Structure 1
Amino acid sequence: MLDRQLLKEVLDLALAAGGDFADIFVENKAVTSISCEDGRIERVITGVECGAGVRVLSGDATSYAFTNDLSRDSLLEVARIASHAAQGDRLEACFDLRRQETKNFFTVIKRPDQVATAQKVEVVQAADRAARQVDREKIKQVQVGYGDVVQQVVMANSEGDYVADERIRTRLIVQAVAMEQGVLQTGYEALGNVKGFELVEGDVAEALARTAAERAVKMLSAQPAPAGRMPVVMAGEAGGTMVHEACGHGLEADLVQKGLSVYAGKVGQKVAATGVTVVDDATLDVHYGSYAYDDEAVPAEKVVLIKDGVLQDFLYDRLTARQEKRRSNGHGRRESYQYKPIPRMANTYIAPGKEDPEKIIREAKQGLLVKKMGGGQVNTTTGDFVFDVAEGYLIVDGQVGPLVRGATLTGNGPEVLQQVEMVGADLGFTIGTCGKDGQGVPVSDAQPTIFIKQLVVGGTASGQANGEIRRL
């Protein structure tokens, strides 16, 4: 997108007043967003976002400036602005062209920017029809959202790194609302990967929509969830919402260094039960949070955060890594050129164990089986969380019992990890857009089926529901 000599000129000017490090992030991003509600296409948005951001690091200070004008004059002006925070001796940018890198190990079969918008609209409409056909009487509302991104980036820095990369992601979300006798229930499903339009071809969209609608309908007949402390089995298909929210953010290095993480100062200590291993791996094939390089030109890598219960590492960007005199492990991410990079998760998961998921349910004997997580909130400083259960069942005498609604899970992330007693051999992923410091980035998270000794379950009924729920 930009001549390399111009990139070097920008970096040299950014360091003209001193500083320890300078980099530039150049982006050209084509996006498509289509939404359907009440059987009508409500919005079709296509567009291109283009710009560049220049950053200077000087000791603990960071200066960042950006522009949507990629002309030479504008880029040099942004570099001048960023250089104002620099201190110390003037540095010359290394920028050794031999250190350029361009790699991408993700395969895209059908580029979304080469697919007609009309085809994408057809997919959305097909999903809407499929959801409504599940039950024309009870399904009252369906929302379908399709989106794709083709992002081309060029990154260069004063240490000589040069990376040109392309990131392509496609996603589809369906939400269905069912109503019967004044009771409303919602079903939600999302699909997204580092793939092209092939992700939603065939009957994929319709199948996703039917799953969302069927969940909404069956939740209408669910009985009220019991409340109290009880064993909880988190099914692999529930995805890793809990590990992402209640654990993952506390493992990002900036929060650790600011003293806003319960894991600060605990490397080498036991922070989870034996058998619990937590990993963040941006190199996983086609997953929604995957990338070849982070947004600071650092190659993606697999990072073992907790191994067999012992805290091993945190997620670093260049700035937090410099503060500890270590290298970044490839987790500096940003929403766009308008933002400076910060440590972020990519694909975060609890590694599979060896137990049969059905055996875990039998061993639990009594409690709550969570098959689908809903929304929630977490305090990253303390690890305290509250999550909704979108689909849950009572476990009665080691068997899956009646469907319940209105359940919530309340607990503390680090404490929950300490109470994991069994880890299944399966692994289920969910996707999302993770928000932090006003920035959203695509992520995925996962977990196997796990047995948690006890959690506080909020509900609307007493513990008696086709079997006594054991209180611990």
Structure 2
Amino acid sequence: MNNSYSNIDYGVGVRVLSGDQSGYAYVENSTLEEMLKAARTAARIASANKGNKPLNLTEKVLKKNYYTVSSPWEEVNLKDKMPYLQRLNERIFAMDKRVRKVQARQSDTTSHIFFCNSEGVMYYDYRPMVTLGAVCIMEENGKMENGYAARAYRKGYDFLTDDVVEVIAREAWSKRRLCSKQLSLKAARCRW
């Protein structure tokens, strides 16, 4: 039928710049010991035998994340997402009796960004990403056509609303209609 996807990926990358040289190291956890090891490795790569002094890092507290989220994706269950996919599916089928299939998809990812620079500043930020999309597949007189629509935002669960479902459903269906008009005018295949 339809699907929903969530992703949690975790790790820390450290990039060190020294003049026109750069070094990079990555670890898949955030223990202080492992992050310092990655930082030293990146510094050695960038420095190539130059002497560097260690920095004292000072946390810059962000009063507000750039992407304000009331309901983070990590706290949302699959059963909470599925009704929106079901409504998207039902709405597209209700638009036209020629609809044969709907492929609806929702995905979300979350990035936790930990930033440090050579001026001794460090901070943390939270970056959500959500996509909701649908393909409307229709058949008329043996000809199959499809239209696609999607929206992607850096938002949390509050992104999923009946309004966004309606916008995507109408757009997927109307793009199919544009394809139909192009077929009749140009006798060519329309690809979205």
Q: What TM-score, normalized to structure 2?
A: 0.79
Aligned residue pairs total 189
Shift of 1:47: 4.5
Shift of 1:88: 5.0
Return the match for 1:141 from 98, 101, 107: 101
Kindly indicate whether the alpha-carbon contact (under 8 Å) linking 1:95 and 1:158 is maintained by their aligned counterparts in 2. no
The answer to which of 117-126 and 46-55 deviates more is: 46-55
Shift of 1:72: 4.1
Counterpart residue number, 2:160 = 200
Distance 2:185 2:147 in 1: 17
Q: Which 5+ residue runs of structure 2 have no aligned equivalent?
A: none
Counterpart residue number, 1:71 = 31
1:114 and 2:90 aligned: no
> If each structure's helix is expressed as a fraction of its own residues, which one has the higher value?
2
> What is the root-mean-square deviation in Å for CA atoms of aligned residues?
3.0
Distance 1:90 1:219 in 2: 63
> If each structure's strand is expressed as a fraction of its own residues, which one has the higher value?
1
Shift of 1:225: 4.1
SS of residue paired to 1:170: strand
Distance 1:70 1:112 in 2: 21
SS of residue paired to 2:8: strand
Distance 1:216 1:79 in 2: 52
Counterpart residue number, 2:12 = 52
Shift of 1:66: 0.7
Return the match for 1:127 from 66, 81, 88: 88
Distance 1:69 1:197 in 2: 26
Distance 2:40 2:167 in 1: 53
Shift of 1:216: 1.0
Counterpart residue number, 2:136 = 176
Aligned ranges 1:349-364 → 2 under 5 Å = none
Q: Which amino acid aligns with 2:116?
A: A
Kindly indicate whether the alpha-carbon contact (under 8 Å) linking 2:70 and 2:158 is maintained by their aligned counterparts in 1. yes
For 1:324-367, what per-residue CA distance to the aligned partner results, in whole angstroms no more than 9, with x for missing partners? xxxxxxxxxxxxxxxxxxxxxxxxxxxxxxxxxxxxxxxxxxxx
For 1:77-112, what per-residue CA distance to the aligned partner results, in whole angstroms no more than 9, with x for missing partners? 433432342235322244452x62414354334333
Counterpart residue number, 2:151 = 191
Q: What TM-score, normalized to structure 1?
A: 0.36
Distance 1:105 1:71 in 2: 25
For 1:210-247, what per-residue CA distance to the aligned partner results, in whole angstroms no more than 9, with x for missing partners? 32123314532443349xxxxxxxxxxxxxxxxxxxxx
Kindly indicate whether the alpha-carbon contact (under 8 Å) linking 1:178 and 1:217 is maintained by their aligned counterparts in 2. no
The answer to which of 157-166 and 87-96 deviates more is: 87-96
Shift of 1:52: 0.8
Kindly indicate whether the alpha-carbon contact (under 8 Å) linking 2:5 and 2:106 is maintained by their aligned counterparts in 1. no
Kindly indicate whether the alpha-carbon contact (under 8 Å) linking 1:123 and 1:205 is maintained by their aligned counterparts in 2. yes
Aligned ranges 1:306-455 → 2 under 5 Å = 406=190
Kindly indicate whether the alpha-carbon contact (under 8 Å) linking 1:95 and 1:157 is maintained by their aligned counterparts in 2. no
Kindly indicate whether the alpha-carbon contact (under 8 Å) linking 2:88 and 2:104 is maintained by their aligned counterparts in 1. yes
Shift of 1:73: 4.2
Distance 1:76 1:110 in 2: 32
CA change 1:79–1:207 in 2 (3 A) is closer
For 1:269-293, what per-residue CA distance to the aligned partner results, in whole angstroms no more than 9, with x for missing partners? xxxxxxxxxxxxxxxxxxxxxxxxx
Shift of 1:172: 0.7
Q: Which has the higher contact order (CA 8 A, sep 6+)?
A: 2
Aligned ranges 1:197-346 → 2 under 5 Å = 197-217=157-177, 219-222=179-182, 223-225=184-186
Kindly indicate whether the alpha-carbon contact (under 8 Å) linking 1:142 and 1:177 is maintained by their aligned counterparts in 2. yes
Shift of 1:127: 0.7
Kindly indicate whether the alpha-carbon contact (under 8 Å) linking 1:139 and 1:176 is maintained by their aligned counterparts in 2. yes
1:89 and 2:50 aligned: yes
Counterpart residue number, 2:65 = 104
Percentage identity across aligned positions? 25
